[in-house]
Amino acid sequence: MNRELAVIAGRLRGGDYDGVMIIKNLWQKESEESYKGDTYEPEMLKSTKRMLLCQARSGLESLTTTMLLTPKEAAAKAELIAPELTGDNAVDTEGCWHVFTRQETLDFVIAVGDTNQIHRTEIPVVPGIFIMERILETLPKNVVKFEVSYRNAVFAGEPLWLDIEGNKVVLRGNGKEYINGTFEVE
Task: Give residue limits of the domains in the chain.
Answer: 3-185
Q: Which residue has the higher pLDDT, 31 or 178?
A: 178
- Quote the CA–CA distance of 117 and 82 in Å, as a whole number: 14
| Mean pLDDT calculated for residue range 1-19 | 61
Closest CA to 147 of 22, 8, 17, 15: 22
- The Cα-based distances of 157 to 96, 111, 150 in angstroms read 12, 20, 18
What contacts 55, CB < 8 A, 6 or more positions away? Answer: 39, 42, 43, 45, 62, 63, 64, 65
Give the DSSP letter of residue 88: G
| Mean pLDDT calculated for residue range 117-146 | 92
- The Cα-based distances of 82 to 20, 34, 63, 86, 121 in angstroms read 18, 43, 28, 12, 10
- Quote the CA–CA distance of 130 and 104 in Å, as a whole number: 10
Q: Which residue has the higher pLDDT, 144 or 117?
A: 144
Residue type, 105: T
What are the percentages of helix, strand and coil residues in the chain, rounded to 5? 25, 40, 35
pLDDT in tens, 73-93: 544 444 556 666 555 555 567
| Mean pLDDT calculated for residue range 49-67 | 83
Q: Using an 8 Å Cβ cutoff, are 68 and 20 in contact?
A: yes
Q: Which residue has the higher pLDDT, 111 or 15?
A: 111
Q: Using an 8 Å Cβ cutoff, are 43 and 140 in contact?
A: no
- For residue 71, name the pLDDT band (cuts at 50, 70, 90): low
